[in-house]
Amino acid sequence: MKISAIIEKINGGNNKAFTALYGNDEAVLKFQADRYAKQLASFQTAFGSDEASLFSSPGRTEVGGNHTDHQLGRVLAGAVNLDNIAVAAANGTNVVRINSVGFPPFEVDLSNLEITEFQVTPTNLVRSIASDIKALGLKVAGFDAVIDGAVPEGSGLSSSASFEVLIGAIFSHLFNDGKLDPVDNAKIGQKAEHACKKFCGLMDQTACAVGGFITIDFENPANPIVKALDFDFAKTGYSLVITNTGGSHGGLDAEYNSLPGEMKAVAKELGQEVLRPLSMEDVVKGIPTIREKVGDRAILRSMHFQGDNARVVDQVAALEANEFQKFLGLVIESGFSSYMYNQNIFVGGQPKYQSVALALALSEQVLKGKGAWRVHGGGFAGTIQAFVPNNLLEEYISTLESVFGKGNCHKLFIRAEGSVKVEL
């Protein structure tokens, strides 16, 4: 489509496609219209083309199943309205050329898809994604793109996964009539990180690729079961708020590694490699014989896994039955389980620095009996998640930002669209 026609169809943000992606707030829609117009102009300047297509790929939020995936458990996740967008067009060559706002431009020659330096770089990710799309019997060819990322790095919203499935969507729609299945797109994104020697689960890419609420069961790791939920978050009267509480994940490898390590130690003592084949009853019955070998914290963390893994099933059932208040209660239960049993809220031995715990305490002060709150993602530092009634949004955000700084609360919603071509 001609760029002039695209801008006309965007219509200042007043179009159905933008409403589906970004909600009904007129100021937000105008901001997004200006954002797209800016990148369309950048695309014309950089590549000299007056035809293009638009793409959007969301970030994701973990909603249920905190630290369950590494024990082959279940998770509940959702796509959010912060996204990476692309203006892209086929260029008639075998070279991908990408200008990404805030990063150096790069090119990938599709005749050479071998990865030699095993680092997670945009170049390596594009190489791996192209290779795996070809392996599915689909076409890859050169394209030009300008990408603008609004999924903040370090927000726990999976900016890298969003980028990966965005590239997959571009290849799919420019050269294959959109035939790449969203779950296959997610698996290709995951494999791209694995190809760079960064080992991740499938939750992030799947949530970004599929959209809406999804649940994933990792019991069979070679073929996880992915299910999209039919639930309209926009009708709840709530917003999702992710708050960056500060603190760095750097230097916390030992803390993160202790979680799967201790859970697997319990599983091993009970005759399994991971906790998934076991039940809560198995863990509790085994305490007298394994306590001295594995320690109390490992047992508590294993109890967290069993509880949160089962809780995902209940959360899914509540959403499918449109019982949102019941769902919120389960979110709170999950948060308390992470705090009391999984113990990934603060680093032991650093009593002065408990930003996640403080954010959860402030959230309870504002939201008790009205909303829900929990740690978001890995824990120990970083972000928390809250479901906030829209009539309490201003109070909640001002309370949290008075402590953690202006701009550290991200007001979001669960968007139904995954990584898509934006059809105006």
**Averaged pLDDT, 111-129:** 90
Whether residue 7 is predicted with pLDDT greater than 90 in this model: the reply is yes
- Among the ranges given (7-11, 236-240, 253-257, 387-391), the one the predictor scored with the smallest mean pLDDT: 253-257
Highest mean pLDDT among 232-246, 283-297, 342-356 belongs to: 283-297
Single-letter code of the amino acid located at 207: A
Whether residue 1 is predicted with pLDDT greater than 80 in this model: the reply is yes
Residue 52 shares a structural domain with residue 96: yes
Residue 96 shares a structural domain with residue 188: yes
Sign of CA dihedral 104, 108, 112, 115: positive
DSSP code of 358?
Answer: H
Report which of residues 195 and 358 the model is more confident about: 358
Residue 342 shares a structural domain with residue 205: no
Give the per-residue pLDDT at 359.
Answer: 98
373 forms beta bridges with 386
Residue 124 shares a structural domain with residue 21: yes
Q: Where are the beta strands (DSSP E) in 72-212?
A: 74-90, 95-100, 106-109, 143-149
Tens-digit pLDDT profile for residues 290-346:
999 999 999 999 999 999 999 999 999 999 999 999 999 999 999 999 999 999 999
Q: pLDDT grade, residue 202 (50/70/90)?
A: confident
Structure tokens at 30: 């105008």
Give the per-residue pLDDT at 377.
Answer: 81
Q: pLDDT grade, residue 156 (50/70/90)?
A: low
Whether residue 194 is predicted with pLDDT greater than 90 in this model: the reply is no
Longest dimension (CA), the chain: 72
User: Which region holds residue 11: left if phi is over 0, alpha if psi is between -120 and 50, else beta?
Assistant: left
With contact defined as beta carbons under 8 Å apart, do 101 and 147 qualify? Answer: yes
Residue 57 shares a structural domain with residue 176: yes
Residue 59 shares a structural domain with residue 169: yes
Give the per-residue pLDDT at 37.
Answer: 97
Calculated CA dihedral for residues 392, 393, 395, 397, nearest 10 degrees: 150
Mean pLDDT (the chain, rounded)? 94
Residue 197 shares a structural domain with residue 316: no
With contact defined as beta carbons under 8 Å apart, do 138 and 172 qualify? Answer: yes
Residue 146 shares a structural domain with residue 243: no
Q: pLDDT grade, residue 221 (50/70/90)?
A: confident
Highest mean pLDDT among 32-46, 139-153, 343-357, 370-384 belongs to: 32-46
**Averaged pLDDT, 281-286:** 98
* Cα distance from N-terminal residue to C-terminal residue, the chain: 10
With contact defined as beta carbons under 8 Å apart, do 415 and 212 qualify? Answer: yes
Q: Please, which residues have CB within 8 angstroms of residue 199's CB and are 6 or more apart in sequence?
A: 193
Give the per-residue pLDDT at 293.
Answer: 98
DSSP tally for the chain: helices H, then strands E: 13, 12
d(CA 119, CA 102): 19
Whether residue 54 is predicted with pLDDT greater than 80 in this model: the reply is yes
Tens-digit pLDDT profile for residues 61-88:
999 999 999 999 999 999 999 999 999 9
Residue 223 shares a structural domain with residue 285: no
Question: What is the number of domains present in the chain?
Answer: 2
Give the per-residue pLDDT at 320.
Answer: 97
Structure tokens at 208: 């970004």
Whole domain around residue 367: which residue ranges? 238-412
Nearest CA-CA partner of 147 in 159, 156, 158, 139: 159
Q: Please, which residues have CB within 8 angstroms of residue 332's CB and are 6 or more apart in sequence?
A: 372, 373, 374
With contact defined as beta carbons under 8 Å apart, do 421 and 178 qualify? Answer: yes
Residues 130-150 as b or e (16 or more Cβ within 10 Å = b) = bbbbeeeebebbbbbbbbbbb
Give the per-residue pLDDT at 253.
Answer: 78
Single-letter code of the amino acid located at 332: I
With contact defined as beta carbons under 8 Å apart, do 383 and 376 qualify? Answer: yes
Residue 215 shares a structural domain with residue 256: no
Whether residue 110 is predicted with pLDDT greater than 80 in this model: the reply is yes
User: Going edge to edge, which strands form the sheet with 238-244?
Assistant: 372-375, 383-389, 238-244, 409-412
Single-letter code of the amino acid located at 254: A
3-class DSSP state of 97: strand
Give the per-residue pLDDT at 118.
Answer: 80
Tens-digit pLDDT profile for residues 247-282:
765 667 788 889 999 999 999 999 999 999 999 999
Give the per-residue pLDDT at 158.
Answer: 64
With contact defined as beta carbons under 8 Å apart, do 186 and 205 qualify? Answer: yes
Q: Are strands 74-90 and 53-64 parallel, antiparallel or unpaired?
A: antiparallel
d(CA 231, CA 361): 29
Q: pLDDT grade, residue 139 (50/70/90)?
A: very high
**Averaged pLDDT, 37-56:** 97
Nearest CA-CA partner of 380 in 200, 207, 213, 256: 256
For residue 68, give the CATH number of its domain: 3.30.230.10
d(CA 234, CA 416): 9
Could you tell me what percent of the chain has a pLDDT over 70?
Answer: 97
Structure tokens at 170: 């571009």
| Residue-by-residue DSSP string for 279-344 | -HHHHHHHHHHHHHHH-HHHHHHHHHHHHHHHHHHHHHHHHHTT-HHHHHHHHHHHHHHIIIII--
Residue 216 shares a structural domain with residue 250: no
Residue 268 shares a structural domain with residue 370: yes
For residue 295, give the CATH number of its domain: 3.30.70.890
With contact defined as beta carbons under 8 Å apart, do 243 and 360 qualify? Answer: no
